[in-house]
Structure 1
Amino acid sequence: MPDYDICLDGLEVSIGLGIHPAERAAPQRVTLDVAMTCRYPARPEDRIDAVVDYDFLRTRILTLAAAGHIELQETLCEEVATLALADPRVVHVRVRSTKLDIYPDARIGCEITRTR
């Protein structure tokens, strides 16, 4: 069975994320990088319905970002991983979130991997 890595990199969202008062006051910019290892029973045909369409993940992440406040980047990453693993063809996912505006000289983030 062939494996394919599908990447959604640099998706910038505005999301309520964090525990500090300034983070609770307004949404902040966060980038998300998601790499999904997808397994198909055979080499897929040249049709979008034969593969995992990353558009489903992007749409669901945008909905998650608009849904409300999340305390921790770890929780955000877990939620995104769960969204990716909703498709049974996704056998492994790596999710990285990065807060862009917390420090003037650094970005802070979290990265997780989950395997079915």
Structure 2
Amino acid sequence: MPEYTTILDGLEVTMRLGIHPHEAAPQRVRLSVWMTVSYSRQPSGDRIEEVLDYDFVRAGVHRIAAGEGFALQETLVDAVASLCLGDPRVRSVRVRSEKMNIYPDATVGCEVVRTR
């Protein structure tokens, strides 16, 4: 079975994320997702129906960001990983989050890798 890595990199959303009082307001968060996807055969028809359409990941992340928010980045990346693993062709997923504006000289992030 051929495997491909489908990547959604640098998606920026505004959402509630954090435990500190100054994080009560929505803040900028950057998310990147790498999915290892297995297909029963190599795509041959150059049609989206043959492969994973990453639109569902982008739309799902936007829905998650529009929700109530999270206290922890760990919870956020787990939610995105679960979204991706909802497609049975996704064998493994790596999700990274980064808070963009916590420090003036660095981002603060978290990453999870989940495998079936």
If the TM-score is normalised by the length of the shorter chain, which range does it land in?
over 0.9
Identity %: 58
Structure 1 unpaired stretches of 5+: none
Show the counterpart of 1:64.
64
Equivalent residue for 1:37? Answer: 36
- 1:110 is matched with which residue? 110
Query: Which residue pairs with 2:53 in the alignment?
Result: 53
For the residue of structure 2 that corresponds to 1:83, the secondary structure is helix
TM-score, normalized by length of structure 2? 0.97
In the TM superposition, residue 36 of structure 1 has moved relative to its aligned partner by: 0.2
| Structure number having the greater strand percentage | 2
What is the RMSD computed on CA atoms of the aligned residues?
0.6
* 1:77 equivalent in structure 2: 77
What is the distance in 2 between the residues matched to 1:39 and 1:78? Answer: 21
Q: Which runs of 5+ in 2 are unaligned?
A: none
Q: Distance in 2 between matches of 1:48 and 1:9?
A: 19
What is the identity, as a one-letter code, of the residue corresponding to 2:5?
A: D
Q: Which runs of 4+ in 1 moved over 2 A?
A: none
What TM-score does the superposition give when structure 1 sets the normalisation length?
0.97
How many residue pairs get aligned? The number is 115
Q: Work out the CA distance in 1 between the residues paired with 2:50 and 2:115.
A: 21
